[in-house]
Amino acid sequence: DGGITQSPKYLFRKEGQNVTLSCEQNLNHDAMYWYRQDPGQGLRLIYYSQIVNDFQKGDIAEGYSVSREKKESFPLTVTSAQKNPTAFYLCASGNGYTFGSGTRLTVV
Amino acid sequence: GDSVTQMEGPVTLSEEAFLTINCTYTATGYPSLFWYVQYPGEGLQLLLKATKADDKGSNKGFEATYRKETTSFHLEKGSVQVSDSAVYFCALSATNFGNEKLTFGTGTRLTIIP
Protein backbone atom coordinates (compact mmCIF):
# COMPACT_ATOMS: atom_id res chain seq x y z
CA ASP A 1 0.00 0.00 0.00
CA GLY A 2 1.20 3.50 -0.76
CA GLY A 3 1.73 5.90 2.06
CA ILE A 4 4.05 7.83 4.32
CA THR A 5 6.04 6.15 7.07
CA GLN A 6 7.37 8.16 9.96
CA SER A 7 9.73 6.71 12.52
CA PRO A 8 10.12 6.42 15.37
CA LYS A 9 6.65 6.95 16.80
CA TYR A 10 8.10 8.20 20.09
CA LEU A 11 11.50 9.80 20.58
CA PHE A 12 13.23 11.12 23.66
CA ARG A 13 16.03 13.63 23.46
CA LYS A 14 18.46 14.76 26.09
CA GLU A 15 19.38 18.39 26.40
CA GLY A 16 22.04 19.34 23.84
CA GLN A 17 21.48 16.35 21.58
CA ASN A 18 20.65 16.35 17.90
CA VAL A 19 18.01 13.86 16.82
CA THR A 20 16.77 12.86 13.37
CA LEU A 21 13.20 12.02 12.48
CA SER A 22 12.62 9.80 9.49
CA CYS A 23 9.99 10.31 6.79
CA GLU A 24 9.68 7.94 3.82
CA GLN A 25 7.02 7.92 1.11
CA ASN A 26 6.28 5.49 -1.72
CA LEU A 27 3.68 7.66 -3.42
CA ASN A 28 6.08 9.05 -6.02
CA HIS A 29 5.34 12.57 -4.82
CA ASP A 30 7.75 15.36 -5.67
CA ALA A 31 6.86 17.60 -2.73
CA MET A 32 7.40 16.77 0.93
CA TYR A 33 6.76 18.82 4.07
CA TRP A 34 7.50 18.88 7.79
CA TYR A 35 5.03 20.40 10.24
CA ARG A 36 5.16 20.87 13.97
CA GLN A 37 2.06 20.58 16.15
CA ASP A 38 1.84 21.94 19.68
CA PRO A 39 -1.13 21.40 22.01
CA GLY A 40 -4.04 23.66 21.18
CA GLN A 41 -2.34 25.03 18.10
CA GLY A 42 -2.57 24.38 14.42
CA LEU A 43 0.24 22.93 12.39
CA ARG A 44 3.20 25.16 11.61
CA LEU A 45 5.45 24.56 8.62
CA ILE A 46 9.12 23.87 9.39
CA TYR A 47 10.62 23.01 5.99
CA TYR A 48 9.41 21.86 2.61
CA SER A 49 10.94 20.43 -0.51
CA GLN A 50 9.40 20.51 -3.95
CA ILE A 51 12.10 18.51 -5.69
CA VAL A 52 15.13 16.38 -4.90
CA ASN A 53 18.21 18.32 -3.72
CA ASP A 54 16.16 21.45 -3.04
CA PHE A 55 14.29 22.64 0.04
CA GLN A 56 12.97 25.87 1.53
CA LYS A 57 12.47 27.19 5.03
CA GLY A 58 8.96 27.36 6.37
CA ASP A 59 7.64 29.61 9.10
CA ILE A 60 9.60 28.11 12.02
CA ALA A 61 12.84 26.69 10.53
CA GLU A 62 15.22 27.92 13.25
CA GLY A 63 16.84 25.03 15.10
CA TYR A 64 15.94 22.48 12.42
CA SER A 65 17.69 21.10 9.34
CA VAL A 66 16.64 18.82 6.49
CA SER A 67 18.05 17.03 3.47
CA ARG A 68 16.44 15.70 0.31
CA GLU A 69 18.88 13.35 -1.37
CA LYS A 70 16.21 10.95 -2.59
CA LYS A 71 12.68 11.50 -3.79
CA GLU A 72 11.34 9.03 -1.24
CA SER A 73 13.04 10.44 1.86
CA PHE A 74 12.96 13.76 3.72
CA PRO A 75 14.59 13.42 7.16
CA LEU A 76 14.32 16.20 9.74
CA THR A 77 17.07 16.89 12.25
CA VAL A 78 16.14 18.70 15.43
CA THR A 79 19.33 20.38 16.56
CA SER A 80 20.44 21.51 19.99
CA ALA A 81 19.72 25.05 18.84
CA GLN A 82 15.97 24.33 18.97
CA LYS A 83 15.16 25.52 22.48
CA ASN A 84 11.71 24.01 22.81
CA PRO A 85 11.62 20.85 20.70
CA THR A 86 8.96 18.93 22.61
CA ALA A 87 6.11 18.59 20.11
CA PHE A 88 4.35 16.29 17.68
CA TYR A 89 6.03 16.27 14.26
CA LEU A 90 4.12 15.46 11.10
CA CYS A 91 5.45 14.74 7.64
CA ALA A 92 3.31 15.16 4.53
CA SER A 93 3.79 14.67 0.82
CA GLY A 94 2.23 15.63 -2.46
CA ASN A 95 -0.05 18.62 -2.36
CA GLY A 96 -0.34 18.16 1.39
CA TYR A 97 -3.13 15.64 1.12
CA THR A 98 -1.23 12.72 2.66
CA PHE A 99 0.19 12.79 6.16
CA GLY A 100 2.27 10.34 8.12
CA SER A 101 1.22 9.17 11.57
CA GLY A 102 3.66 11.45 13.34
CA THR A 103 6.59 11.35 15.75
CA ARG A 104 6.18 12.58 19.29
CA LEU A 105 9.44 14.11 20.50
CA THR A 106 10.04 14.74 24.19
CA VAL A 107 13.04 16.40 25.83
CA VAL A 108 14.13 14.62 28.98
CA GLY B 1 -0.15 36.68 4.34
CA ASP B 2 -2.58 33.81 4.16
CA SER B 3 -4.48 32.88 7.30
CA VAL B 4 -7.28 30.62 8.51
CA THR B 5 -9.55 31.33 11.46
CA GLN B 6 -11.73 28.60 12.82
CA MET B 7 -14.20 28.24 15.61
CA GLU B 8 -12.74 27.99 19.09
CA GLY B 9 -13.32 24.73 20.84
CA PRO B 10 -13.91 22.49 22.53
CA VAL B 11 -17.31 21.64 21.11
CA THR B 12 -19.44 19.08 22.89
CA LEU B 13 -22.60 17.69 21.31
CA SER B 14 -25.00 14.87 21.92
CA GLU B 15 -25.18 12.01 19.47
CA GLU B 16 -27.42 12.75 16.44
CA ALA B 17 -27.09 16.52 16.91
CA PHE B 18 -26.35 18.88 14.02
CA LEU B 19 -22.76 20.04 13.72
CA THR B 20 -21.32 23.28 12.38
CA ILE B 21 -17.69 24.27 12.73
CA ASN B 22 -17.00 27.71 11.32
CA CYS B 23 -13.96 28.50 9.19
CA THR B 24 -13.03 31.74 7.46
CA TYR B 25 -9.90 32.55 5.51
CA THR B 26 -7.76 35.35 4.17
CA ALA B 27 -5.77 34.71 1.02
CA THR B 28 -4.69 36.33 -2.19
CA GLY B 29 -5.75 34.70 -5.41
CA TYR B 30 -7.90 31.59 -5.48
CA PRO B 31 -6.93 29.13 -2.78
CA SER B 32 -8.03 25.54 -2.41
CA LEU B 33 -9.75 24.79 0.91
CA PHE B 34 -9.58 21.67 3.05
CA TRP B 35 -10.90 20.05 6.18
CA TYR B 36 -8.70 17.53 7.98
CA VAL B 37 -9.53 15.28 10.91
CA GLN B 38 -7.11 14.07 13.57
CA TYR B 39 -7.89 11.20 15.92
CA PRO B 40 -5.92 10.92 19.18
CA GLY B 41 -2.24 10.11 18.67
CA GLU B 42 -2.53 9.99 14.90
CA GLY B 43 -1.64 12.09 11.90
CA LEU B 44 -4.10 14.12 9.88
CA GLN B 45 -6.52 12.60 7.40
CA LEU B 46 -8.05 14.59 4.58
CA LEU B 47 -11.79 14.76 5.18
CA LEU B 48 -12.91 16.87 2.22
CA LYS B 49 -11.77 19.62 -0.10
CA ALA B 50 -12.97 22.24 -2.55
CA THR B 51 -10.87 23.88 -5.22
CA LYS B 52 -13.05 26.71 -6.52
CA ALA B 53 -15.86 29.02 -5.46
CA ASP B 54 -19.26 27.37 -4.91
CA ASP B 55 -17.73 23.88 -4.90
CA LYS B 56 -19.10 21.59 -2.21
CA GLY B 57 -16.79 19.01 -0.69
CA SER B 58 -18.39 16.02 1.01
CA ASN B 59 -17.30 12.80 2.70
CA LYS B 60 -18.68 10.48 5.40
CA GLY B 61 -21.73 12.69 5.88
CA PHE B 62 -19.67 15.88 6.32
CA GLU B 63 -20.07 18.78 3.90
CA ALA B 64 -18.50 22.18 3.35
CA THR B 65 -19.14 24.77 0.63
CA TYR B 66 -16.50 27.18 -0.67
CA ARG B 67 -18.06 30.64 -0.29
CA LYS B 68 -15.87 33.26 -1.90
CA GLU B 69 -18.21 36.14 -1.09
CA THR B 70 -17.94 35.46 2.65
CA THR B 71 -14.46 33.84 2.49
CA SER B 72 -15.82 30.88 4.42
CA PHE B 73 -15.71 27.09 4.36
CA HIS B 74 -17.88 25.94 7.27
CA LEU B 75 -17.99 22.23 8.09
CA GLU B 76 -21.42 20.66 8.67
CA LYS B 77 -22.88 17.27 9.47
CA GLY B 78 -26.54 16.52 9.94
CA SER B 79 -26.28 13.84 12.62
CA VAL B 80 -23.04 13.27 14.50
CA GLN B 81 -21.90 10.00 16.01
CA VAL B 82 -19.60 9.19 18.91
CA SER B 83 -16.99 8.05 16.37
CA ASP B 84 -16.81 11.63 15.01
CA SER B 85 -15.05 12.75 18.19
CA ALA B 86 -11.72 14.17 17.01
CA VAL B 87 -9.92 17.42 16.27
CA TYR B 88 -10.88 19.12 13.01
CA PHE B 89 -8.58 21.47 11.11
CA CYS B 90 -9.49 23.89 8.36
CA ALA B 91 -6.68 24.68 5.91
CA LEU B 92 -5.94 26.41 2.65
CA SER B 93 -3.32 26.10 -0.03
CA ALA B 94 -2.31 29.10 -2.02
CA THR B 95 -2.98 27.81 -5.51
CA ASN B 96 -4.70 24.95 -7.28
CA PHE B 97 -1.54 23.74 -8.92
CA GLY B 98 -0.46 21.19 -6.37
CA ASN B 99 2.78 20.91 -4.43
CA GLU B 100 1.81 23.91 -2.37
CA LYS B 101 2.21 24.25 1.37
CA LEU B 102 -0.85 24.42 3.59
CA THR B 103 -1.87 27.09 6.07
CA PHE B 104 -3.86 25.67 8.99
CA GLY B 105 -6.34 26.96 11.50
CA THR B 106 -5.77 26.15 15.17
CA GLY B 107 -8.12 23.18 15.21
CA THR B 108 -11.48 22.52 16.90
CA ARG B 109 -11.82 19.64 19.32
CA LEU B 110 -15.17 17.91 18.97
CA THR B 111 -16.56 15.54 21.58
CA ILE B 112 -19.78 13.62 20.99
CA ILE B 113 -21.52 12.16 24.02
CA PRO B 114 -23.90 9.20 23.74
Per-residue model confidence (pLDDT) at position B29: 80
Which residue numbers of B have CB closer than 8 Å to A's CBs? 4, 34, 36, 41-46, 49, 89, 91, 93, 98-102, 104-107
A33 vs B36, B49, B101: nearest CB: B101
Per-residue model confidence (pLDDT) at position B97: 54
Amino acid occupying residue A92: A
Hey, which residues does B89 pair with through a beta bridge?
A: B36
Contacts of A48 in chain B (CB under 8 A): 101
Contact B73, B33 (CB under 8 A): yes
Per-residue model confidence (pLDDT) at position B64: 98
Indicate which of B99, B100, B106, B108 best probes the interface with A, i.e. most A CBs within 10 Å of its own CB. Answer: B99
Contacts of A55 in chain B (CB under 8 A): none
What burial class does residue B73 get, using C-beta atoms within 10 Å of its C-beta: 0-12 exposed, 13-18 middle, 19+ buried?
A: buried
Instruction: Using alpha carbons, select from B67, B70, B25, B29 the residue that is nearest to residue B50.
Output: B67
DSSP A30-85: S-EEEEEE-TTS-EEEEEEEEETTEEEE-TT-TTEEE--SBTTB--EEE-TT-S--
Say whether A42 and B4 touch across the interface (CB within 8 A). yes
| Per-residue pLDDT tens digits of chain A, which is 108 residues long | 679 999 999 999 888 899 999 999 999 999 999 999 998 788 999 999 999 999 999 999 999 999 999 999 999 999 988 889 999 999 999 876 799 999 999 988
CA distances from A44 to A6, A87, B62, B91, B112 (A): 18, 11, 25, 11, 27
Contacts of B46 in chain A (CB under 8 A): 97-98
